[in-house]
Structure 1
Amino acid sequence: MKKIGILFGMENTFPNAFIERVNSKAVDGIIAEAVSIDKVVQAGPTDYAVIIDRISQDVPFYRAFLKNAALCGTAVINNPFWWSADEKFFNNALAEQIGVPVPKTVLLPSKERPENTSETSFRNLAFPMAWEEIFQYVGFPAYMKPHDGGGWKSVYKVLNPQDMWYKHEETGQLVMMLQEEIVFDDYVRCYCIGQKDVLIMPYEPRNPHHLRYASELKATGEEREKLLATITDYTLKLNVALGYDFNTVEFAVRDGIPIAIDFCNPAPDADIYSVGRDNFDWVVEAAANMAIERAQKQVPGKVNLTWGTFISNAAAAPAALAPTSTPAETPATDVAKEVKVKAVVPKKAVAAKPVAEKPVAEPEPVVPTKKAAATKAPAKNSKIKKS
């Protein structure tokens, strides 16, 4: 019997419906239940072939448990190793490389120095930064948000440089990014399950939370069909590149072009009271089918994780440089045999005559500023005037 487990916190509607839906299918040798953890021993396998993770982003203990489970053969959805390394600024850069439009975005250093660092830790950071070029590239109004955040936490709309510096004072040690504002005609949120099933949901982020899915697309006819096809294509491209099996992607549509705004939601909202009955039923069914398929393919003791093409292509690159053939004198079947190497005794080194050297004092480190290593307003000679 292969178990499918779901690891969750305060949410109720999706986990229970998921378990019931998997079990109602009565697939031979497959059963679903809530994950139960009574001990976590290093390199100790779990009882689960598949675990759907809905909570480890908030509970480090669960994240460590899932990595250990994945190492021992559990197919964890989503991949806990990649999720631990993922962040929004990198995702934007990756999206550009695979041809998915994203807002113009730049990275900002934290306002306060990270703990256990000093001014010298930031000797490679220019003071002031190239603010004129940054502001010209992004434009105003803009949004400032954590480069690795989520859930609309610490997100600011900034109207001009002075407004940005004022609000940046509140961000502490958070590394922020400044992002172009997209004034949109339509907005959608898309579930993507198993890197193949996509549900496009009209979404209004400016509405109260419980009314955000109470929206309709403004595009109609042929324009609407073309837009939906492009959004589906972009959603699949992003999830295949990132390696997510359960994710949501948000697009702001400007002048008929879908621009990816947020696409790192590997524990996305799936509550019936916010997404609505139809969307809820779709995601429960798609997630149940995916989990059953992954359980059937799971091989005990092997790594059963999904890796994005960014990682898999990078891992395959060194192999492409390796020799493709074995030397004629060494049969392929014998490559792994021990090779005896004749020991060579090194020649005795000849001692060099000592040369008197003048002592050289270690140069003082170049510190760019006496102020805290943090983003600050331009210097007095900047083209941008302070308010």
Structure 2
Amino acid sequence: MKKVGILFGMEDTYPWAFIERVNQIGDGKVKAEAVQIDKVQQGIDYGYHVIIDRISQEVPFYRSYLKNAALMGTAVINNPFWWSADEKFFNNCLSVQLGVPVPKTVLLPSKERPDDTTEKSFRNLRAPLDWDYMFDYIGFPAYMKPHSGGGWKSVYKVESPEDLFAKHGETEQLVMMLQEEIVFDDYYRVYCLGQKYVHIMPYEPRNEFHLRYATESKIKGDEHKKLMKTIHDLTIKLNKALGYDFNTVEFAVRNGIPYAIDFCNPAPDADINSVGQQNFDWIVEHSAKLAVEKAKAHKAKKNNCTWGTFLQEAISGPKGTRPAGLKTASEAKKTVLKKPVAKKKVAPTKKSPTKN
């Protein structure tokens, strides 16, 4: 019997529907439940083959619990090590490298100094910053938002330099990023599960929260089909690079080009009251299917978490190749054990002088 757990907080519709569906399709070989924790001892496996994480971004205790579980072989969705390291500004930087359209973006230091730092801690930061360049590059109006985090918290629309400085003064120790406004013709929010299951949802971020999914595509016909294919492919590309198995990507479409606006949502909204019945049914069905697949593929005492191609290639090189000069442990051992071969003495030859 393989055991699947889901770790969650205030959610009341998705977790229970997920558990019920896993138990239906698990065919007696995979069982799901709400994760139960009564102690967390270092290096102990508490028996879950898969855990769906919906809350550790808000509870550091849970994040440490999940890292221990991952070390013991649990397939944690999403990978708690990468999730701890990831943030929105890096996502944008990676997207530029991948060729995924994103809004022009710059990073801003926090208005207030972090605790236990002084002015001397920031000797590498020039004052004033090159504000004129940044304002010319981004333009106004623009959006200012935290470089990490989500939930539409501390997001500001700024109309001018003066407006930006006033609102930046409210952000305290948050590191912010300034991003160009994409005046969009159409907007989509996209579920991506297991880096293969994709569900594209028309979305209107300007509506009241409970009505954001109550919309439809503005683009029709062949143009719509082409756009859906592009959004599908960009979604897969981003999630494979980042290594997320449960994520949403938001695209704002301007002049037919989908710009990735937000794609660091590893615990995305899945509540029936906001996403609607059709989208809810899709996310329950496919997340349950993914959990069962991960449980059946589980390898005992192995690393069963997903790692993105960005990290994989940083360590091993593209397509599984190793950086030049590096050897595996077995290759290194053979080199050490190999007997030295005597070199033949060669008479020195007269060399022509070279010019420097």
Q: TM-score, normalised by structure 1?
A: 0.84
2:300 maps to a residue whose letter is P
2:264 maps to a residue whose letter is C
TM superposition shift of 1:149: 2.0
User: In 2 relative to 1, CA 331–182 (structure 1 residues): closer, same or farther, beyond 3 Å?
Assistant: closer
TM superposition shift of 1:301: 1.0
TM superposition shift of 1:28: 4.2
Give the Cα separation in 1 of the matches to 2:131 and 2:332: 59
The answer (yes or no) to whether the contact 1:14–1:270 under 8 Å persists in 2 is yes
Deviations 1:37-93 (A, max 9, x none): 111111111210000000001110000000000001000000000000010000000
Give the Cα separation in 2 of the matches to 1:268 and 1:129: 35
Deviations 1:275-304 (A, max 9, x none): 011110011111011101101111111110
**Paired position in structure 2 for 1:236:** 236
**Paired position in structure 2 for 1:293:** 293
Give the Cα separation in 2 of the matches to 1:312 and 1:101: 23
The answer (yes or no) to whether the contact 1:74–1:303 under 8 Å persists in 2 is yes
2:314 maps to a residue whose letter is A
Structural mapping, 1:1-387, within 5 Å? 1-317=1-317, 319-322=322-325, 334-335=334-335
Give the Cα separation in 1 of the matches to 2:239 and 2:62: 23
The answer (yes or no) to whether the contact 2:87–2:147 under 8 Å persists in 1 is yes
Deviations 1:297-325 (A, max 9, x none): 11111110100000000010393213679
Question: SS at 2:323's partner residue?
Answer: helix
Question: SS at 1:320's partner residue?
Answer: coil
User: In 2 relative to 1, CA 62–18 (structure 1 residues): closer, same or farther, beyond 3 Å?
Assistant: same
Give the Cα separation in 1 of the matches to 2:328 and 2:68: 37
The answer (yes or no) to whether the contact 2:138–2:180 under 8 Å persists in 1 is yes
Deviations 1:149-169 (A, max 9, x none): 210100000000000001111
Give the Cα separation in 1 of the matches to 2:333 and 2:303: 27
The answer (yes or no) to whether the contact 2:186–2:254 under 8 Å persists in 1 is yes
TM superposition shift of 1:187: 0.4
TM superposition shift of 1:229: 0.5
Q: Which has the larger radius of gyration?
A: 1
Q: Give aligned-pair identity as a percent.
A: 66
Give the Cα separation in 2 of the matches to 1:279 and 1:148: 26
Question: SS at 2:114's partner residue?
Answer: coil
User: In 2 relative to 1, CA 338–101 (structure 1 residues): closer, same or farther, beyond 3 Å?
Assistant: same
Give the Cα separation in 2 of the matches to 1:132 and 1:26: 59
TM superposition shift of 1:27: 2.5
Give the Cα separation in 2 of the matches to 1:32 and 1:270: 18
**Paired position in structure 2 for 1:384:** none
The answer (yes or no) to whether the contact 1:102–1:261 under 8 Å persists in 2 is yes
**Paired position in structure 2 for 1:364:** none
Residue-pair matches, total: 337
User: In 2 relative to 1, CA 30–166 (structure 1 residues): closer, same or farther, beyond 3 Å?
Assistant: same
Give the Cα separation in 2 of the matches to 1:192 and 1:335: 45
Question: SS at 2:144's partner residue?
Answer: strand
TM superposition shift of 1:26: 3.8
The answer (yes or no) to whether the contact 1:7–1:35 under 8 Å persists in 2 is yes
User: In 2 relative to 1, CA 49–131 (structure 1 residues): closer, same or farther, beyond 3 Å?
Assistant: same
Question: SS at 1:313's partner residue?
Answer: helix
Give the Cα separation in 1 of the matches to 2:10 and 2:334: 57
User: In 2 relative to 1, CA 115–332 (structure 1 residues): closer, same or farther, beyond 3 Å?
Assistant: closer
User: In 2 relative to 1, CA 321–212 (structure 1 residues): closer, same or farther, beyond 3 Å?
Assistant: same
Give the Cα separation in 2 of the matches to 1:164 and 1:26: 53
TM superposition shift of 1:25: 1.3
The answer (yes or no) to whether the contact 1:46–1:74 under 8 Å persists in 2 is no
Give the Cα separation in 1 of the matches to 2:169 and 2:196: 43
Q: TM-score, normalised by structure 2?
A: 0.91
Give the Cα separation in 2 of the matches to 1:155 and 1:272: 25
